[in-house]
Structures are given as C-alpha cells and as structure tokens.
Amino acid sequence: MRKEKPVSLVLENGVVFHGKSFGYEKPVAGEVVFNTAMVGYPESLTDPSYSGQILVSTFPLVGNYGVPADQIVDGLSAFYESEKIHVSGFIVSDYSFEHSHWNATKSLSEWLIESKIPGIYGIDTRELTKILREKGAMLGKIVFEDENEIDFHNPNTENQVAITSCKEVITYGNGKKKICLVDCGVKHNIIRCLLKRDVTVIRVPWDYDFNTLEFDGLFVSNGPGNPDFCDTTVENIRKFMETGKPIFGICMGNQLLSKAGGAKTYKLKYGHRSHNQPVRMEGTNRCYVTSQNHGFAVDNATLGSDWEPLFTNMNDGTNEGIKHKTKPYFSCQFHPEAASGPTDTEFLFDDFVNLIK
C-alpha cells in the first residue's frame, strides 16, 4: 500500500488545498497557473515559458502514458520542448500510478523525482481553477508538514528570459538561407518547424548582438516572464529593422517586436494558458484555435502608425499579433508550433520562410 507524503498548496489569499505527493519532496514557491490540455504534459513541463511557475493541469487524469525517453536528435530533444523541466511544481487531480505507452521509459512520478520537482495529486483542480479565474494570476507555494515555512515568490520580478536562454551560439541545419533565432526561452518544436523548411538556424542568447552576424531573416522566440527585462533585445531588433529583412516573432517575440516598434505591454489579469484559445485574423472572418502560454500582452492603443494588429483574441479582445504595414515584419502571441497541438497556424512558418526566399 502506498504511503504518499501529505503536502499542501497555499495561495497568497490564504486558501489552502491539501493533497498527496507524487514528486520530489521539497517546498517551492512561484506563480500558480493552469493549463487546459488533455494531453502533452511532457511538453508543457519542459516549456521554458513556465519557468518559475507552479502548473495546474485542469484535465483530471495525468500520468497514464508515462514519460518518453530523453532522446537527443540533431542537437534537439526528440520528445520534449527543452533539455529539462522548467515548472517549479506540478498539481493534478488524479495521478495514474500505472502507465502504458509505446515510447514510455519511466513514470511521471519517477521523472519529477529525478528532476527534483514536487508534484501533488488529490487536489480539487476544478475549484482551484475557478479561484484562479476569478482572482487572476496568484502566487502560491507547495509546503510539506515537516518542512520549514517558505516565503511567497513572484517570478515576474526576475529576468526569466536570462535564466532560460542559451548561453552560447548554436547552429542547426545546413539550408541555403540562414535564420538568426533569438533565444528568449525557445521551445524546441519552433526550431524543428524552421528546420523542416530547409534553412540554417543560428540560435543566439537573448542579449547577443546578432547584428554582427550575416543572415537572411530574424526570428524572436517565445519565453517566460516580463518583457521589460529585455531592453537589450529590443534595441538589437530595432537596429536590425534598418536592414529591411524579414522578422517573425512568437509569444515573447510578439511583445519584443511590438516594443521595438514603439508599443507598450502590460500584465494580463489571468494570462492565456490553454490549448483552445480562439483568435481571428484581422481583415477576415477566419478564426483559428491556438495554444497559448503568456502572462503579458501588447497594448494595441500604443501601436505606431506603421503597425497594425494581425490577430485578435476572440475571448477577451486582446492583441494576438502585429504586422508592419509596408515591411516584412510580423508576429503572433500564440504558438503555431504547439506540441501537443493544435497546429492550425503552422503556415506562419511558411509565410516567414517564403518572405526570406
């Protein structure tokens, strides 16, 4: 009979949820957010955009298909979105202690313990999600009965981009056209989507002066936290705009391109973190279902006269992308490369590469 250790989630408003541990047993603190995906927990847990956050899965059953091998193919993880788990903790309603899948090599519990990430099950995640939806993004902490109390911690007060970005220049592929990818916490599937289109990808750290390199197009990646920490990146983007070469940004990249164009960003009350956010392409009645993970947004009212919105969120009307009116610069706030999906908007990678070619 299993004897899981009692563990609690404490929210900053004083609400406490009691559960049992299925991960590493250590107290942690961070921002509590939720994800609505039915599948894809290996990808979500390794998404750098969750750095500093305690992730809640709204789907009730988690762990039933285990965890795939940590396999590296051509310098990229075959099944993950980065080289490690980035969430601070994982909270689920019902953890499956039995798993079965053709490429599973271990259980989710084993993976969390190896990675020293706490996990809680037996939590009423429906009630927890309702609280987060009503109050907005909240700080929280995971504590054990025999552990010393820890303080709440807001990850948005730190430069999460610097924490998750690569530390040196890395090159992938051997296509004729070269793309410089500014790594603000990039998901590996973004690099895979670019490489499928026969290009060379030069991945550089977030604060690297990429204007010293020779390449054909600039890509600004997703990433965690507050875009205001990335003024160095914004200035480098602004300088690159003088070349007139194509620019494409995703998620954090949308925010940084917007800031380079003179716009402002702000903290969302809830954030968008789900696999089913509807967005509409401006000037059309075409609506796409998208995967999203961000806590900040671009203020459309601050866009300069040379810029215009490209996509709009149909739930709350917030910005989901911008484009320049005359030059080949565009971005989206959602994830067209999303793993485990949807991939309805992956054509944006084709648009970017075709602009370069």
How large is the greatest C-alpha to C-alpha distance in the chain, in angstroms?
A: 66
Percentages helix, strand, coil for the chain (3-state, rounded to 5) are 25, 35, 45
Q: Output phi, psi for 48, to 5 deg.
A: -60, -20
Kindly name the residue from 251, 272, 275, 332 that is annotated as catalytic.
251
Kindly name the residue from 188, 275, 324, 335 that is annotated as catalytic.
335
Catalytic annotation on 168? Answer: no
Catalytic annotation on 335? Answer: yes
The rounded distance, in Å, linking the Cα atoms of 327 and 306 is 9
Name 133's Cβ contacts closer than 8 Å, sequence gap at least 6: 270
Kindly name the residue from 31, 43, 320, 337 that is annotated as catalytic.
337
Name 32's Cβ contacts closer than 8 Å, sequence gap at least 6: 9, 11, 53, 54, 56, 91, 128, 132, 137, 138, 139, 140
Which of 109, 51, 42, 114 lies closest to 78 in space, CA to CA?
42
CA triple 246-251-255, angle to 5 deg? 75
Catalytic annotation on 337? Answer: yes
CB of 107 closer than 8 Å to CB of 73: no
Catalytic residue numbers, as ranges: 251, 335, 337
